[in-house]
């Protein structure tokens, strides 16, 4: 029997990693503290009526040019190696893939992030993802990042969920808005699990949940972030609010395996019903 495809889709910053990916190395290389950089970048965005994600990307290139810091694509790639993750993340993918195999499920992992794709490409867990949808830069002939090539914010994240659902390429911006019958969609929403931590994830969370998939809000264990995640649960934006510990036997592990059990059972039931329908027609 052909394996049933399931998509696990993750935000990155503070969902898998312990903080923003730029905070580990990139911003310190600019000679700034992370809190100072983000405060100034956000203020620049407000002053110039810019989207915060676009504004922060521009502000990053501005400071790098002013300080004559050559942060090439290769430099950004190397920053990925120094990212720190929540407990259990590094072993999560092999474990959950093995569980999916046991249920005859083909589990695919995706990233949809407002972080920098160039950094994610260099991270130790990149090999586990079928695709990564992140913000990216255009680089000049000397290797400097000069302009946002792709921007992913809270609203544009949704189109990448649709691309996963329909099985479209990252650059296919036309077909994402075209009508696709449910039986032609590569991975139905009911077989998508979305993981996120905050406001930029709400449209994706709501979209997946409302289409019978599952949305999980994660939060740093033993922190005030729990209140924010629980509010998403109370506001009916997510199905679960769980501490960001991906270790075996912890809540995320248990919940996701239970969802996978349900997907496998529903698949098996559909096959049995189809078999009975054939009997009627014989």
Q: Which candidate, 193, 230, 232, places its Cα nearest to that of 211? A: 193
Question: Which residue pairs, CB below 8 angstroms and at least 24 apart, start in 98-103?
Answer: 99/257, 99/260, 100/6, 100/260, 103/260, 103/261, 103/263, 103/264
pLDDT digits (tens, 9 = 90+) for 89-138: 999 999 999 999 999 999 999 999 999 999 999 999 999 999 999 999 99
pLDDT digits (tens, 9 = 90+) for 32-56: 999 999 999 999 999 999 999 999 9
CATH placement of domain 4-21+84-281: 3.40.50.1000
Distance from C-alpha of 195 to C-alpha of 92, rounded to nearest angstrom:
13
> What pTM does this model have?
0.95
pLDDT of residue 41: 96
Residue 239 scores a pLDDT above 90:
yes
Q: Which residue has 């956000």 as its token pair? A: 42
Domain coordinates in residue numbering, the chain? 4-21+84-281
């Amino acid at each position: 029997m052909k394996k049933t495809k399931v998509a696990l889709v993750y935000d990155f910053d503070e969902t898998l990693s312990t903080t923003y990916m730029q905070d580990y190395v990139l911003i310190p290389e600019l000679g700034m503290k992370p809190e100072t950089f983000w405060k100034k970048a956000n203020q620049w965005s407000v002053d110039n009526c810019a989207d915060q994600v676009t504004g922060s990307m521009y502000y990053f290139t501005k400071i790098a040019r002013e300080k004559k810091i050559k942060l090439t694509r290769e430099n950004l790639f190397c920053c990925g190696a120094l990212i720190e993750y929540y407990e259990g993340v590094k072993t999560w993918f092999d474990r959950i893939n093995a569980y999916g195999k046991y249920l005859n499920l083909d589990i695919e992992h995706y990233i949809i992030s407002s972080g920098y794709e160039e950094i994610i490409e260099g991270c130790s867990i990149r090999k586990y993802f079928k695709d990564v949808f992140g913000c990216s830069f255009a680089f000049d002939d000397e290797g400097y990042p000069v302009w946002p090539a792709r921007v992913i914010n809270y609203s544009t994240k949704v189109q990448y969920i649709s691309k996963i659902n329909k099985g479209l390429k990252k650059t296919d911006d036309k077909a994402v808005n075209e009508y696709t019958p449910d039986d032609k969609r590569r991975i139905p929403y009911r077989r998508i699990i979305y993981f996120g931590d905050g406001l930029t994830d709400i449209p994706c969370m709501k979209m997946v949940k409302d289409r019978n998939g599952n949305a999980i809000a994660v939060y740093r264990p033993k922190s005030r972030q729990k209140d924010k995640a629980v509010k998403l649960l109370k506001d009916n934006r997510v199905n679960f609010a769980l501490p960001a510990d991906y270790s075996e036997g912890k809540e995320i592990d248990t919940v996701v395996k239970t969802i996978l059990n349900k997907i496998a059972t529903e698949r098996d039931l559909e096959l049995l019903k189809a078999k009975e329908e054939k009997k009627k027609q014989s």
